[in-house]
A and B are shown apart, each in its own frame.
Chain A
């Protein structure tokens, strides 16, 4: 009987996933909704929810365009 090694363990063995293999959408979940947010003497911080919404809209649009071209 053979047992496939668990996917999670395989990932862990490889250590951290290389940046280029990280899906942009997973990254943006964290970079736009997570991380330290500080207000103060900023030039600009995209704690501003409108910008987050804009970028997600752009993402969706670009996915649609790709599907349309295919």
Chain B
């Protein structure tokens, strides 16, 4: 009976220059590697007191813990991504021990090789588009007929209509935006739009896109983003990221 487990961050092709000495991961643990055939897993040994199923259920409710752990996981992935193409693994993937990680590398070897060759020489960019649907429309200044009550109702109806129209137009714009950005990318993925309370902005998020871009086309992609700005939809760019949104083994796997 052991009270430790193996936390998995990322998988790469093993290369002779893999030097990660001193790298720290979740809960301040030391990061090490497990090799199997030509694949390398980046892991650290964690305590089941912190990373067992039950403690995790509680910890995931703790924003400070979640922020720290996500940051540490991300840090390891970034450090590895700086050196070699990487397949990041989802947050808090914990194995009973190294043998299970080895078995994973062996059993899913071809899937990992596929994923890694798909992201080699490519980086992920995030593009979020917002629109302010509460902005006053042109109908609000229309001359009013009838009494103040009628005028109010008319304004209100017109306001609702123009809001709906504004939303429809904005959604269509987001779709075009996504298509335009996708045309410069190798692959694209639309994340769920963030709640305004999470995005920290009052504007509605129309697009929360991720784009896998050939490094040689980064400039072209960024120029495309800049060209798209200021057409009534505000754009926020994040990245470059490790290819988190393009390493879905569940989809790519052979089942």
CB-defined contacts of A40 to chain B, threshold 8 Å: 100, 103-104, 107
How close is B226's CB to chain A, nearest CB, in angstroms? 4
Instruction: Verify if B199 is at the interface (C-beta below 8 Å from A).
Output: yes
Pairs across A and B, CB under 8 Å, 12 listed: A6-B225, A7-B226, A8-B222, A16-B82, A17-B239, A22-B238, A24-B71, A29-B192, A30-B244, A31-B70, A45-B92, A54-B60
CB-defined contacts of B52 to chain A, threshold 8 Å: 43-44
How many residue pairs at the A-B interface have CB separations less than 8 Å? 179
How close is A28's CB to chain B, nearest CB, in angstroms? 6
Q: Give the contact-size bracket for chain A.
A: 35 or more
- Residues of A at under 8 Å CB distance from B? 6-9, 11-12, 16-17, 19-20, 22-47, 51, 54-56, 58-60, 62-64
How close is B185's CB to chain A, nearest CB, in angstroms? 14
How close is A53's CB to chain B, nearest CB, in angstroms? 10
CB-defined contacts of A24 to chain B, threshold 8 Å: 66-67, 70-71
The count of residues in chain B whose C-beta lies closer than 8 Å to any C-beta of chain A is: 69
Instruction: Verify if B167 is at the interface (C-beta below 8 Å from A).
Output: no
- Residues of B at under 8 Å CB distance from A? 5, 11, 48, 51-53, 56-57, 60-63, 66-67, 70-71, 73-75, 78, 82, 87-96, 100, 103-104, 107-108, 112, 115, 126, 189, 191-192, 194-195, 197-200, 208, 210, 218-219, 221-223, 225-226, 237-241, 244-250
